[in-house]
Chains A and B, each alone.
Chain A
């Protein structure tokens, strides 16, 4: 088993990365909030797996910690919080109308190509194991960005934000064998606090606007 892993680690990492990208696409097209959160958890899991693999290959002990952090935060804690939130907010079965999914997909594919193209000179410098992850990471960041743009409900927007964070962590682990642990913790803390604050926010927004649709949040503008 270990032997197999060490032989095929690079392929496996790439597989995980591709799965992350795939999930990113899936999130882009997903209308249901609940499914979206589940997809997010799946993405976190993939991230966690890939981090473990990288840790195994590179022998960086702190990456295991990083993987654990990802597991706790991205796979368990945040999805749990989000689940609780949507239950409390009573938006569990919310379905969002999306702007022309096929167009969004085409834009997404263009973004992926672009991302690979952009990081190509940089990838040359990366270690053999993680050559393509940087491109994938950038692609998933951009896809998450695109997702945020196309969503008008508050919760999916936040999920997009978190997915972007996933892409960043992938970049960190894939390209650099993980940031120093201090930083990882700091980032995790920020994300957690951020989600908590957003949770508070959801309630406040709901209380004021009777809806979590961000299209109600268009009063402040220039005339």
Chain B
């Protein structure tokens, strides 16, 4: 993936919305998102929140997962990564 992350080139990631996050995103469960190479998950979130401002309601209680692992927002995303918006969990 390093080659696809050349300075200035865009990377495309898949964003997943679950449960209340999906509801707040108007029922959308997944979307593709283009961001500049070197962008962090937080940069992605800014674009996502611009598109779906209702998500602000869970801004303080949601977490992120990148490629099936919980991740801090400071992580740099790579092309074809899968970023998930995880609202408060309630399994069991």
| A and B form one complex | no
- Residues of B that sit less than 8 Å from A by CB: none
Interfacial residues, chain A to chain B (CB-CB below 8 A): none
